Chains A and B, each alone.
Chain A
Amino acid sequence: MASIVSYLKSSILSKVVMAATGVVLVAFLSGHMLGNTQMYLGQDKMNHYAETLQSLGVALWLIRGFIFLSVVLHIVTSINLKIINMRARPVAYVQKNWVKATIFSRTMLWTGVMIGLFVTYHIMHFTLGTTNPGSFHLTDAAGRHDVYTVVLLGYQNVAISAVYIAAMILLGFHLAHAISSAFQTLGVNHPKYTGIIETGSALVSLVIVCGFISVPLGVLLGFIKPVAVLAAGGM
Chain B
Amino acid sequence: MKLTLHIWRQKSAKEKGAMATYQVDHISPDMSFLEMLDTLNEQLILNSEEPVAFDHDCREGICGACALTVNGVPHGPEAQTTICQLHMRKFNDGDALYVEPWRARAFPVVKDLVVDRSAFDRIMAAGGFVSAHTGGVPDANAILIGKDAADKAMDYAACIGCGACVAACKNSSAMLFVGAKISQYAHLPQGQPERKRRALAMVAKMDEEGFGACTNLYECEAVCPKGISVAGIALMNRDFLRAKLTYVETKTGGA
Task: Scan residues 54-89 of chain B and give those whose CB is less than 8 A from a CB of chain A.
Answer: 69, 71-73
Chain A nearest CB from B109 CB (Å) reads 8
| B193-217 interface code vs A (CB 8 A; 1 in, 0 out) | 0000000000110110011111111
Q: Contacts of B223 on A, CB cut-off 8 Å?
A: 99
Chain A: CB-nearest residue to B171: A85
Chain A: CB-nearest residue to B10: A91
Does A184 sit within 8 A of B, measured CB to CB?
yes
Does A14 sit within 8 A of B, measured CB to CB?
yes
Does A45 sit within 8 A of B, measured CB to CB?
no
User: Which one of A13, A88, A106, A194 lies within 8 Å of B244 (CB-CB)?
Assistant: A13
The reply to whether B215 and A89 contact each other, CB–CB distance below 8 Å, is no
Chain B residues with a Cβ under 8 A of chain A: 6, 8, 17, 19, 69, 71-73, 98, 100, 103-106, 168, 170-173, 175, 203-204, 206-207, 210-219, 221-223, 230-231, 233-241, 244
Known: A89-B104, A97-B72. A190 touches B231 (CB 8 A): yes
Chain A residues with a Cβ under 8 A of chain B: 9-16, 81, 84-85, 87-102, 105-106, 108, 177, 180-181, 183-191, 194
The reply to whether B222 and A100 contact each other, CB–CB distance below 8 Å, is yes
A50→B134 CA distance, assembly (Å): 71
A181→B233 CA distance, assembly (Å): 12
Chain B: CB-nearest residue to A183: B234
Chain A nearest CB from B138 CB (Å) reads 31
The reply to whether B103 and A92 contact each other, CB–CB distance below 8 Å, is yes
Q: Is the interface of B mostly helix, strand, loop or mixed?
A: mixed
Q: Contacts of B218 on A, CB cut-off 8 Å?
A: 100-101, 105
Known A81-B215, A85-B172, A88-B210; further 9 A-B contacts with Cβ < 8 A: A85-B213, A88-B172, A90-B105, A91-B103, A99-B73, A101-B219, A105-B216, A105-B217, A180-B216
The reply to whether A12 and B173 contact each other, CB–CB distance below 8 Å, is no
Q: Contacts of A108 on B, CB cut-off 8 Å?
A: 215
A85→B241 CA distance, assembly (Å): 21
**What are 6 A-B residue pairs whose CB atoms fall within 8 Å in the complex?**
A15-B237, A81-B215, A87-B212, A91-B103, A99-B168, A177-B216
Q: Contacts of A84 on B, CB cut-off 8 Å?
A: 171, 212-213
Known: A11-B212, A11-B213, A15-B214. A96 touches B72 (CB 8 A): yes
Q: Contacts of B237 on A, CB cut-off 8 Å?
A: 12, 15-16, 184-187
The reply to whether A187 and B241 contact each other, CB–CB distance below 8 Å, is yes
The reply to whether A189 and B235 contact each other, CB–CB distance below 8 Å, is yes
Chain A nearest CB from B215 CB (Å) reads 7
